Structure 1
Amino acid sequence: MSIKNIIHNRRTLKVLNNEPKPITDSEISITDLEEIIACAGKAPFHYPANKNAIDAHQLKSVAPWRFYILETKTCRDLAKYYNDNNIDGGKIVQMLNTATALIQATWIPEPLENNEIQLNQKNIEHIAATSAAIQNILLVATEKNYETYWSSGGSLREDAFKKILNIPINEQLLGSIFIFNKNNIEDATQITGAWRDQQGDLKDFSSFVSI
């Protein structure tokens, strides 16, 4: 499949189930997950991540993004944690019941000023770079015939869940990327992205410039 076809075929699909789906042998392979993340790591970035943040954590890449990967069983275990502790996870739990994998995509901000993240040029670049890496995840997963949903994370953004998933508190969650195996979602609730094909024509979002 050409990259153009992959881009056009990529879609947002939220897959929900009230009960945990059984885990099958064909959910997703480590090889597929590693290839997806390796391609994410080929995204461009302008500035290296903050050196002190790198030195303080076991992941030493100079890239501003980090990815924390939950395989199928861990997704189900996390859904069970929500239920066992009476935490209202909303649709997050329903997706964890069905997901074949979840990738928590974070970015590393520059040191806080007055305990607030500043949208300075470096941090804007870090967010843009991590967004590009997430797009790579979505495209490679699509090429491998998985469905995907880029969630803002909801309660997974909270510090308590960062601790559970061994994510440093200073890192900011940019997306919870749910990956679904097409062979295991037929009887689950499926909701497509509300904004698909709503961006308009080329003339609606671009123009040629002359001076």
Structure 2
Amino acid sequence: MSNTFDTIASIIKNRRTTKPPEMNGQKIPDEQITALLELADWAPTHANTEPWNFIVYAQPKLFGQQHAELYKANTPANEYMQMTYEKLLNMPNKASHVILCTMQRKPLTRIPVLEEIAATACAMQNILLGATALGLASYWGSGGMIHSPAMKQYLGLGEDDVVLGALYLGYSDTKPTGKRNIPLSEKVTWVK
């Protein structure tokens, strides 16, 4: 195998999730965030629609405040939990940057929505793999209000647009471990 394959395989196999509270608050240079977004922009895209869009929070506490307030404003009183509000408020406190990732449909596109979502997810994966190559910690968050109609409205998205998640990026003093729970042989069928 080539050195290039070995390098890519190592990055893919060593990518791990680090939850934002496990990050240490150290700032990533904005230039590195820009470089990660450039990787995202090279994701596969059917008919070159490039449906991904990113909102970068260089001050992640601002995202925490906005996310928590969105939860508070859009949750019925009988379902509201102060603990959830506090979690959303404080989740990004130790992250360096938060990137909200959205799939935005182009007018009159014939590409199936699923393919546009998949393309945007590939763009997000490119960010995560690039972050791993740079020695950064990362977390793909989809909780709280991320998938809610209120978040779509807050971001000014259209009916067919989708918020895929928030990528929390930072540094961590610990290295998470990982494993696969299901053997690959149980997930692959060869047809010869």
Asked if TM exceeds 0.5, the reply is yes
C-alpha contact 2:104 2:158 (8 A) present in aligned 1: no
Pairing 1:1-150 to 2, within 5 Å after superposition: 2-16=7-21, 27-48=27-48, 62-71=49-58, 73=59, 75-81=60-66, 87=72, 88-89=84-85, 91-109=87-105, 122-150=112-140
Q: TM-score, normalised to structure 1's length?
A: 0.68
C-alpha contact 1:45 1:126 (8 A) present in aligned 2: yes
- TM-aligned CA distance change 1:3 to 1:167, over 3 Å: farther
- TM-aligned CA distance change 1:121 to 1:202, over 3 Å: same
**AA at the equivalent of 1:68:** I
d(CA) in 2 for partners of 1:125 and 1:80?
32
Shift of 1:39: 0.3
d(CA) in 2 for partners of 1:105 and 1:198?
26
Unaligned runs of 5+ in 2: 1-5, 73-83
Pairing 1:189-204 to 2, within 5 Å after superposition: 196-204=178-186
- TM-aligned CA distance change 1:144 to 1:167, over 3 Å: farther
C-alpha contact 1:153 1:173 (8 A) present in aligned 2: no
Partner of 1:155, secondary structure, is coil
Aligned-residue RMSD, C-alpha: 3.3
Shift of 1:199: 3.9
- Name 2:189's counterpart in structure 1: 207
Could you say which structure has the higher helix fraction? 2
Q: Aligned residues, how many?
A: 174
Per-residue Cα deviation, 1:5-58 (whole angstroms, up to 9, x for no partner): 1111101121328xxx996xx50111101100000111111134xxxxxxxxxx
Unaligned runs of 5+ in 1: 49-61, 112-119
Q: TM-score, normalised to structure 2's length?
A: 0.74
- Name 1:114's counterpart in structure 2: none
C-alpha contact 1:47 1:126 (8 A) present in aligned 2: no
Of 138, 153, 157 in structure 2, the residue corresponding to residue 168 of structure 1 is: 157
**AA at the equivalent of 2:61:** R
Partner of 1:179, secondary structure, is strand
- Name 1:58's counterpart in structure 2: none
- Name 1:182's counterpart in structure 2: 172
Shift of 1:4: 1.0
Shift of 1:201: 2.2
d(CA) in 2 for partners of 1:83 and 1:207?
45
Shift of 1:128: 1.2
d(CA) in 2 for partners of 1:64 and 1:81?
24
